[in-house]
Amino acid sequence: MMRLKHTVLWVAALAFIVAACSTVPITGRKQLSLIPQAEMLSMSFQQYGDFLKTNKVTTDAQQVQLVRGVGVRIQKAVESYFAQKGLSDGLKDYKWEFNVVDSKEVNAWCMPGGKVVVYTGILPVTKTEAGLAVVMGHEIAHAVAEHGSERMSQELIANMGGMLLSKALEEKPEATKNLWLGVYGVGAQFGALLPFSRTHESEADHLGLVFMAMAGYDPHEAVDFWTRMSQSSGGQAPPEFMSTHPADATRIADIQKEMPEAMQYYKAR
């Protein structure tokens, strides 16, 4: 009897989890999706605002223009891809924003809802507009593929158990906030995303490659960028971006495998 009850519970939990899955565009991978997008976006918008208030946003017109220019082109590519696939609903509450922060950190990130920061420290490595498109395409891909939400969902399952999820979210907003901090970093690290899994990294490379190609940047530049990135770490402590984004042979080989697909989307400007 106990055993049967257990089985019933498990079946119910599994049914719940299956119902709470969504599909990643382009790769078609199924992912766990338990956090309502509205919650993700409201946390993101608030934290992005706080981040900008407590960090030095650059006023260098040339850098701002460069980052916004590339960002908007990637944004348009994402929007057109989502529109073609009938997925525009997923982007309708986005409030895209592209800011440059004056810092030696070699880093960039995009929070849910299209909230992007590029650190001036990464610009010498991205070098060209297309190089920057590699980084921004990749970071924006993490956001539109809802990798943060998926990680929070996995944490929620691990920590609170399947059956209480909707209740937990409803009754414990602070628990949801803690999940967010567990994924998006805390304290001094705040704003610096904690490392994504290998699956999320290669998926963001794949989507980013397609988005940059659609935006009119030659996707082959991705191979050049990752090669530069791996060389720039030689001898010194690895920069932030390298520690969360290892530019190893597997990464570059995977990108090369996806090149023919990305080239189908590429129209040189």
Catalytic positions are 139
Shorter beta-carbon distance to Zn ion: residue 166 or 199: 199
With binding defined as CB under 5 A, does residue 145 bind Zn ion? no
Q: How far is CA 268 from CA 206, 217, 256, in A?
A: 19, 7, 19
Contacting residues for 39 by C-beta, under 8 A, at least 6 apart: 169, 176
Q: How many CA atoms lie within 13 A of 75 on its CB side?
A: 18
In whole angstroms, the minimum distance from the beta carbon of 135 to Zn ion comes to 9
The CB-of-207 to Zn ion minimum distance in angstroms stands at: 11
- Least separation in angstroms between residue 2's CB and Zn ion is 45
* Nearest residue to Zn ion, by Cβ distance, number only: 204
Q: Give 52: exposed, middle or buried? Use CB within 10 Å, 0-12, 13-18, 19+.
A: middle
Nearer of residues 29 and 172 to Zn ion, judged by Cβ: 29
Alpha helices in 114-239 (DSSP H): 123-126, 129-144, 147-160, 165-171, 173-184, 198-214, 221-232
109: β partners: 117
CA distances from 135 to 118, 205, 222 (A): 9, 9, 9
DSSP 3-state of 114: coil
The least distance separating Zn ion from the CB of residue 165, rounded to whole angstroms, comes to: 27
Does 204 engage in binding with Zn ion (CB under 5 A)? yes
DSSP state of 197: P
Which region holds residue 201: left if phi is over 0, alpha if psi is between -120 and 50, else beta?
Answer: alpha
- Identify which of residues 114 and 176 has a Cβ nearer to Zn ion in the complex: 114
Site string for Zn ion, 159-198 (x = CB under 5 A): ----------------------------------------
Residue (of 150, 152, 146, 148) closest to 78 by Cα position? 146
Q: How far is the CB of 127 from Zn ion (least distance, A)?
A: 19
Residues that bind Zn ion (CB under 5 A): 201, 204
